[in-house]
Structure 1
Amino acid sequence: MINCLLIKITNNSRGLPVRNYRTLNATELMIGRSAECNIHLADPRIAMHHAVIKELEDGHLYVVSINGEIEVDGAMLQNIKLIPGKQIMIGPYQLNVEPAPPDVNLSVSLTLVNPLSDDYQDLKARTHEPLPNAFKFKWRLSMWLIAFISLVFLVLPLAQNLIPQLQSSMSELPFGFDRVWSSGRMSTAHRHFGSQCFNCHQAPLKKVSDKACVNCHQDTAPHIADPELQKRSLKAAHRFIGSMRCAECHQEHKAPHPLARQDNNMCIKCHGAIRTIDPETKLPNIRDFEKKHPDFELSFKTGPGPKDIERIPQSNQSKLIEKSGLKFPHDQHIGKVQGPNGIWDVRELACTSCHQAEGKEMRFKALSYKNNCSTCHTSELQIGTKDNKLTLPHGEEQNMFNALKLYAPKGFDRYSDQLKNNGCAYCHEVQPAKTGDKLPWSVMPLRLNNDWLAKAQFNHAAHRTQQCTSCHKVDASKSSADVAIPNRQSCLLCHSGNTPKHKRIASSCMSCHTFHNAHQGYDLITGAKVETKDVDILSTLPTVTEKK
């Protein structure tokens, strides 16, 4: 964000210089003759979009030529670094970089040093007189065109929106009169109902409201799960982006361009200086995945509840230990392994033998004893002699002990110790009985992480050309406590930041993060599921002045 103090120097009637001050706040400052430019220079020798002041990759501010010439000391340059004392010619204007006051990061002054000559008589001599008697014809044609345009583009569309009977009858037709107000092609997602404008534009001559979007998108989660924090943060963000309507990021009538904006600047406006938005945040400033991005934080389950989660950065290697309650060495379950039928039973196991993908994003099915373990490990639950084996049920310990009491009451204690030390303990962590427990022992509760990167999304289908072990180093993993989630440095081998690099893919914020994720709509403070949408939350919460 550029906070610029613009000083325009003009001469008054007595020829004395007059300085006019104005403050500009924008990501980029456009210089040109067009009325939309931040720095408007009304001179025919200036291009519509002549140059732009912006921050380049080195973090410094530059004036960059677009359609016009900029020069320093008579030399035409493409990019000129803005440092105090620099004098730059932009057409007939001289731009001086002055020392910036404490509350801005750039101060420039503009002076017209080569004004146009006032040769009115020469201009009048070169002006042609209009054709005789042409005024009446042009006047009549203009009146007919005004009437036709007013009828087609104003009266009929307004009538359709203001007269309920006409609106209901027009809704049965392929398109309505207000279709002429359309500013461009509809996106594919909205094309099936977009022929009737009032489906979104519920009030004539007003912007599309967020509630019109939520009428269909009812399962859209807010950006921040805590509604009070969301309101406070987005209200602070208005200083930079003006508003936080759905249409701010989802711009319709721009097909074939994507409906959702894939623009890093939208994210960086807040997350590039996050403490200016929320002074209490613990988040760091983030601007680029390669240059300025924190280490990944992994989510570890610490209890049975949905909020029993601890997030640990991957830089803290000593705490990256998964306490799943299982004993599982990956190195014994990949490649050639011995099956349950002896040394001649050799089987070839791959990652996909257990981790089976489903869906277009290649999410993985949940693992279970029946589908993934029972083929090779049934013998751990078998008791008795070779000729009289009993296979106990896998699952709740109480069911297993009931089967022992029913089918082997005399050997209950012996078989219970066998299962405690070798059977169940072959795969599970076993804990001794506590005072008051009805069971002699029990297995530790399973705490398997199903969402390691809770604040990001990962599409395995986009990486299906790679081997699993190129990212997940499990070949030498001898314990289920090992964490095989790739870190940021591993991703940077194939991905770069905002700009592409040699043999690396440019990765924007939207490559891994979604605006409406909000941790699957769960309140990160209470753990309750957020049912109301951000639009309703923001409209019902009291403001700061109302609380007072």
Structure 2
Amino acid sequence: MAFLIHAVSASATGREIRRSRRIEADRLTIGRDPGSDIVLADLEVTLQHAVIVRTGTHRMVVRSLTGLPFSIDGRSTVESEVDARSGAEVRIGGFRMEIAWDEAEQAITVTVERYGLLAASSDVRDERQLFTLAGVAPSRRLLAWGGALLVLLLFLAWPVASYLGASGKKLTAQQMEAGASGFHGDRSWSAGPLSTAHANLTNNCTACHAKAFVSVRDDACKTCHTTVHDHADPEKLRVALAPDTIGGKLSLAVAHAFNRPAGRCVDCHTEHKGGSMQIAAPNQKFCADCHGALKEKLPETKLGDTKDFGTNHPEFQPAILVQPGDRPVFRRTSLDAHPRQETGLIFPHDIHLSATNGVARMAQALGQVKKGGLDCAGCHRPDPNGAGFRPVTMEKDCQSCHSLAFGRREGQIRTLRHGEVDQAIAQVRDFYAAGGGTPVQPLAGYMRRRPGDFASAQIAGLAPAGSAAQAIHALFAPNGACADCHRITGPSRPGAVDYKVAPVTLPDQFFVNGWFDHRAHTQEDCASCHAAPKSADARDVLIPGIANCRTCHVGENGGGIAKKAKVASGCAMCHVYHKDDRRGATAASREQKRKIMQPSATASVRNSG
């Protein structure tokens, strides 16, 4: 059994509005109560005024619940039986209800509407409006237009006026600080509070938003951040970031149309989120999106494709010294090629790290170690931040064993000036020109029995009457003080003393595009990564290959097989996004890089010519 209720009303323009609903029930309630099936909003109608009860397929009874009469087909009654097929008109208060039978819907229809002057009168309102603000407030259309105008004034006209008023003005730090506590109209456009680092720009929007309705450009960032460099050449970045799919290309085109090109600073450095603006390390996919197939987009690149450190990463390519000197030349070379580099030194690590040979016994005799031999820390001292090591120098790291004493006069030990070949030769000449003295063992031309501290150097058997030339030749002889560690050339002709020492160049950085932090590996023994105990030649490159690192380090998502530990290692663990001063990517910086030393090196010995 079902009833179809049709509520008929009129719009402000007189247009008929009909709302219909179907009720599956045998009983309809009529009254002013909003919970009634048929709501008659009229003060003449009680909350529960009447009821319609179905007694058959087409028949029903209309009954008053309060004893108040209603009109049905022109006669007043409190109860009446109705046949829907014949139809009937019921009037309660100012409402008329027409009852009929809908053959198509097989339901009794009740059409409800106001009638006569009551429906047309502007003074008679729906009760739900009489007791609400809707009865006295302006129309919704007027409120909508007024609200829209207010929004335009507050959030368009005022901000634009504030922007135009501040455009082109240069504010001092004091003015910006004073203005930060006030309110500017364009602040309503702000997406949120600025970070702590940029809080002083709160009321100076044009510092970043230099052009109205144009997103923040990189030039605005570089106005202050002058030492931050691009990840790579901007044109190459544009090519590498170009999407391959049609959808991606369309999205990029739309972004360009709205002045939002890819690769901007704000893609990562998002503002208006408050706080310290700390950026989380990018995930591996962020890098692999470009570097996973970089050679396809940039065939000329020298960088290898990589997606995952544990499973897809090229062998390390440290910067190998290929030409020593005051202006050394380095070349990135894969460790697969087993490169060697000429530092100018003659230094066997294996002899110095032995626990049983003469070097070990000498170190014990000098009190440098109690037992065993020297260790790596004896020469390699961490730098201030602990990530790398200070340059090895003769004065701090070698001289305690390798004496530079060459003579004694009037109880004073005379020592050679290290690193200045011409000065050393001049010192020996001056020593003998002044009458000489007692030469000490390093100049004697014999194997030194105990290099030790020069103050304890033993007197050699060289006669005081020996010539300066003899002493100089002894100094640079194969077993002399200099030749033990340095490569000697000369003299140019017999009898000459124009000896030269190969410049010593000690690289302090091998990885150009990455970095390594020794602080995170203090639990490891040096020899677990560096094969120094087995190296007999200073030309050996003791940088471990990627296979060594993969014994502990796997990809960010666990890719790879680790034998010792399983350390998830994303790209950001060893690589940084922004280039530093020495590795800028623009054409100008590439030219500058060609002219300067790259990477830096410690030159311990200068040539004498």
One-letter amino acid of the structure 1 residue matched with residue 569 of structure 2 = S
Which residue number in structure 1 is paired with residue 583 of structure 2? Answer: 520
In structure 2, the CA distance between the partners of 1:324 and 1:426, relative to structure 1 (3 Å rule), is same
Q: Distance in 2 between matches of 1:345 and 1:262?
A: 50
Is 2:361 aligned against 1:329?
no
In structure 2, the CA distance between the partners of 1:274 and 1:223, relative to structure 1 (3 Å rule), is same
Superposed counterparts of 1:372-451, under 5 Å: 372-378=397-403, 380-383=404-407, 390-409=414-433, 410-420=466-476, 421-422=478-479, 423-434=481-492, 439-451=497-509
Is 2:297 aligned against 1:234?
no
Contact 2:241–2:290 under 8 Å retained in 1: no
Contact 2:354–2:533 under 8 Å retained in 1: no
One-letter amino acid of the structure 2 residue matched with residue 397 of structure 1 = V
One-letter amino acid of the structure 2 residue matched with residue 419 of structure 1 = L
Is 2:374 aligned against 1:371?
no
Deviations 1:444-491 (A, max 9, x none): 111211221111122333334444333323233333222221221122
5+ residue gaps, structure 1, are 1-128, 225-229, 531-548
Q: 2:220 aligns with which of 212, 229, 238?
A: 212
Deviations 1:103-157 (A, max 9, x none): xxxxxxxxxxxxxxxxxxxxxxxxxx99755794645554565455444433333
Is 2:229 aligned against 1:221?
yes
Q: 2:160 aligns with which of 158, 161, 165?
A: 158
Q: Distance in 1 between matches of 2:364 and 2:306?
A: 55
One-letter amino acid of the structure 1 residue matched with residue 209 of structure 2 = H
In structure 2, the CA distance between the partners of 1:202 and 1:285, relative to structure 1 (3 Å rule), is same
Contact 2:490–2:499 under 8 Å retained in 1: yes
Is 2:330 aligned against 1:309?
yes
Superposed counterparts of 1:42-81, under 5 Å: none
Q: 1:180 aligns with which of 183, 188, 196?
A: 188
In structure 2, the CA distance between the partners of 1:196 and 1:163, relative to structure 1 (3 Å rule), is closer
In structure 2, the CA distance between the partners of 1:131 and 1:272, relative to structure 1 (3 Å rule), is farther
Which residue number in structure 1 is paired with residue 369 of structure 2? Answer: 347
Is 2:542 aligned against 1:474?
no
Superposed counterparts of 1:120-131, under 5 Å: none
Contact 2:391–2:506 under 8 Å retained in 1: no
SS in 2 for 1:469: helix
5+ residue gaps, structure 2, are 1-125, 253-261, 434-465, 597-609
Shift of 1:368: 1.7
Contact 2:176–2:203 under 8 Å retained in 1: no
One-letter amino acid of the structure 2 residue matched with residue 286 of structure 1 = T
Larger Rg: 2
In structure 2, the CA distance between the partners of 1:149 and 1:343, relative to structure 1 (3 Å rule), is same
Deviations 1:376-411 (A, max 9, x none): 222x44247998853222121100110111112542
One-letter amino acid of the structure 2 residue matched with residue 471 of structure 1 = C
Superposed counterparts of 1:130-169, under 5 Å: 133=134, 136=138, 138-139=140-141, 142=144, 145-164=147-166
Question: Scaled by the length of structure 2, what TM-score is found?
Answer: 0.56
Which residue number in structure 2 is paired with residue 506 of structure 1? Answer: 568
One-letter amino acid of the structure 2 residue matched with residue 295 of structure 1 = E
SS in 1 for 2:187: helix
SS in 2 for 1:213: helix
Deviations 1:251-297 (A, max 9, x none): 22345664376143343232222233223334332211122110001
**Percent of aligned pairs sharing the same letter:** 27
Deviations 1:4-56 (A, max 9, x none): xxxxxxxxxxxxxxxxxxxxxxxxxxxxxxxxxxxxxxxxxxxxxxxxxxxxx
Q: Distance in 1 between matches of 2:394 and 2:152?
A: 73
SS in 1 for 2:402: helix
Deviations 1:504-528 (A, max 9, x none): 2322222222232265338456634
In structure 2, the CA distance between the partners of 1:165 and 1:198, relative to structure 1 (3 Å rule), is closer
SS in 1 for 2:179: coil
One-letter amino acid of the structure 2 residue matched with residue 514 of structure 1 = V
Question: Scaled by the length of structure 1, what TM-score is found?
Answer: 0.62
In structure 2, the CA distance between the partners of 1:486 and 1:212, relative to structure 1 (3 Å rule), is same
In structure 2, the CA distance between the partners of 1:194 and 1:357, relative to structure 1 (3 Å rule), is farther
Contact 1:252–1:259 under 8 Å retained in 2: no
In structure 2, the CA distance between the partners of 1:375 and 1:504, relative to structure 1 (3 Å rule), is same
Contact 1:183–1:253 under 8 Å retained in 2: yes
One-letter amino acid of the structure 1 residue matched with residue 161 of structure 2 = A
Is 2:293 aligned against 1:290?
no
In structure 2, the CA distance between the partners of 1:481 and 1:238, relative to structure 1 (3 Å rule), is closer
Q: Distance in 2 between matches of 1:437 and 1:245?
A: 68
RMSD across aligned positions (CA): 3.8
Q: 2:296 aligns with which of 247, 256, 276?
A: 276
Q: Distance in 2 between matches of 1:436 and 1:137?
A: 115
| Residue-pair matches, total | 395
Q: Distance in 1 between matches of 2:139 and 2:555?
A: 62
One-letter amino acid of the structure 1 residue matched with residue 165 of structure 2 = I
Q: Distance in 2 between matches of 1:376 and 1:161?
A: 72
Shift of 1:174: 1.9
Which residue number in structure 1 is paired with residue 211 of structure 2? Answer: 203
One-letter amino acid of the structure 2 residue matched with residue 159 of structure 1 = A
